[in-house]
Structure 1
């Protein structure tokens, strides 16, 4: 056993031992940039090295992560694994610093086409120029009554879940999982999610492009063309992103043959986690803090001192730039009044780069949009949820064509071995 431990690079380490970035990368078998990606998503904690140059990492924490990664690799559930969590899909491919919807560059698709057109492409593989979605009046009325019964402080995702449930109750065909029926649900559920929300802007319409209708639910400011285009593009950029946690939940529900509304509800439940849909709200608040204090230096220092990762930076799937952030930042340069928020975002990225080479992700770009548009911090979560519903339904539709209940991984029991005496 001692010989095996000596040969094991993830073997025992001295308590309190610190590792450099290079040593950490070697132990994990990754590039140094990936080490900081682990930090950004809370899997490792770093500390400034003595003298202020570079970062150090706790050896025991690094060793535990290396062992966990190795176990996942052995089970085929880690990156590149071939176990139960590897799900064949024809929808989204993430490759290096780009991503594709059905083989087409997703950023190009979102920039040149409306959200509704992007959704149709995901669902059918066909573009329908000028397509719009209409919400049934009965569904909207039922959803508004349900929302009115919620406490005033209810979060956006709380309201959207209630809308989905109310819309399901109004649809007698919800259990029809044929392709035609699912597409029909998709084209009515998404506009219902938006139209049922109480408007903030006095002059608004409940018809026309979805981005226009959503804008009126997020801010009391009158929109300009550049801002509406940025919001519409943000919806398209966020429509799908492979098997994110919420999307996996949707596929599990669809595998059990839950109807489309229920599958979307499963996604909304997972989305509310602070590490998923709510991440843009944290970035929004950080951005406001930087704007208020005039510089990112004390704000980032406070985040690091508290041991928190800086929101809006880094992404586990993109070692370089997040292509969604890059596309959205470009459009935001044309939005009137967005310059201060854009400058603050760049300040956050540049200041944090002194500690870790992390790039801005789509949450920070979304925070610039919501801040510049006078939207509340929770608006980014609403945008994310509405946008991702298109992808969720595409994945549910794909899963309905697979063997039922195939999303059933086996548990690895690590408890006490039976038989045990009956407890008194």
Structure 2
């Protein structure tokens, strides 16, 4: 197979004997379904079909049909055996051998494993990896399995120019996330090779796109600070050094840049979060990498995912203004709201990403006040809820508040970083059968047979 899951041409392998395959009628008989249901399985990626010799009908691999029969045929929308609830949340399962479902509600991935209090990238402790290597090195290793010290991502001139022009044309009040979203679409329009889904092409696109996202952002406050922030030398500096002046006018010292670079590395992936699942669904439909990233950005745009760090930023700013955490925490509880930056559904204790970033923030003098406020919030909440711990959004809030960044800064860091993870998942998905995540709805509407609706009259 070529990268991207397409059959290799000219490989010298003999084509299977078409006589060894079975007809549509026989495949349906062995599964005990109608031909219409059989083709529904094909559309959902559960079976592969080939045109029969002479172009009449389709043929199926008997081994693949037998494997599906052994696992138990999934209910199709028109399958009477499905019952009233047939098909609910069926097809988020992974394709196993011969493209058959491995487990409903689960998706096979070799990228991230989350444990009770730690998480791992391809079996390596993610916190230790981020402590030892820069963001671009971690991303490159996650994609290719090769660790290349000093890796730098450089934007392609055409897509970067299109992204800059489009991002700059937005209204003055537009935030960095607004500019990132349009930058992706503009960069795609300037890349005629975006539809090439071979592994080498996708990796080239990914390196360029991540650099484009950072380099297309205008400098904060209209002034430039830091190394590598000019328009001609972006590729010469690490990505964190290029991103810093896009988030704040405050000059960055080495300790602060280390926090930002570590945050980028830690946030690359976190299993199948909402945005990652959206990206994989797009890749399953064979969307190009820019569209995959756009899908991820769309799912990221909500208070329960990407914007969570902005809520933590605003809370910490309010704590500083009030002179203490007590009144602020009380107001959240009075309104029936969760205290931002606390708790995580996947960890029993403290989010390991937060723990790592707080340790680095302790070494940044300018972060001392915001870090103290964050710990006061934790202590206040812990008087009643001992099981609440800091998550990574609280750490991002400390970084952004302490360095004069806008509330959206944490989400921007998240989006830039997670782009590498979305690409890693897209590479996995391109190698799987297409459209395998076709969900089947549990229809709960009116029964068929209703008359045509009539137009309303005044």
TM-score under structure 1 length normalisation = 0.80
Give the C-alpha shift of residue 124 in structure 1: 1.0
* Equivalent in the alignment of 2:10: none
1:352 partnered with 2:381: yes
Match of residue 415 from structure 2 = 385
- Give the equivalent residue in structure 2 for 1:112: 132
1:238 and 2:280 correspond: no
- 1:95 and 2:115 matched: yes
Task: Kindly name which structure, 1 or 2, has the bigger radius of gyration based on alpha carbons.
Answer: 2
Give the unaligned 5+ runs of structure 1. 1-70
Distance 2:398 2:224 in 1: 24
Is the partner of 1:337 in helix, strand or coil? helix
**Partner in structure 1 of residue 438 of structure 2:** 408
2:90–2:439 Cα contact (<8 Å) kept: no
Q: Distance in 2 between matches of 1:216 and 1:103?
A: 34
Secondary structure in 1 matching 2:435: coil
Retained in 1: the 8 A contact 2:307–2:411?
A: yes
Aligned mates of 1:297, 1:161 — CA distance in 2: 37
The alignment's TM-score, normalised by the length of structure 2, stands at 0.74
Aligned residues of 2:199 and 2:427 also touching (Cα < 8 A): yes
| Aligned positions of 1:188-337 closer than 5 A | 188-200=208-220, 201-204=223-226, 205=228, 206-207=234-235, 208-337=237-366
Give me the whole-angstrom Cα distance separating, in 1, the residues matched to 2:297 and 2:119: 23
Return structure 1 stretches of 4+ with deviation > 3 angstroms. Answer: 74-78, 81-85
Residue 234 of structure 1 deviates from its aligned partner by 0.3
Q: What's the counterpart of residue 59 of structure 1?
A: none
Q: Give the deviation of 1:155 after TM superposition.
A: 2.7
Match of residue 3 from structure 1: none
User: Shift in Å at residue 315 of structure 1?
Assistant: 0.7
- 1:149-173 deviation per Cα after TM superposition (whole angstroms, max 9, x unaligned): 2111223222111111111111111
- Cα distance between partner residues in 1 of 2:447 and 2:146: 54
State the alpha-carbon separation in 2 of the partners of residues 339 and 216 from structure 1: 21
Distance 2:131 2:143 in 1: 18
Alpha carbons 2:89, 2:439 under 8 Å: kept: no
SS of structure 1 residue aligned to 2:249: coil
Query: What is aligned with 1:375?
Result: 405
- Structure 1, residues 215-272: CA drift from partner, whole Å, max 9, x if none? 0100111110000000000000000000000000000000000000000000011111
Give the Cα separation in 1 of the matches to 2:181 and 2:420: 15
Q: CA RMSD in A?
A: 2.0
State whether residues 288 and 371 of structure 1, in contact with CA within 8 Å, keep that contact through their aligned partners in structure 2. yes
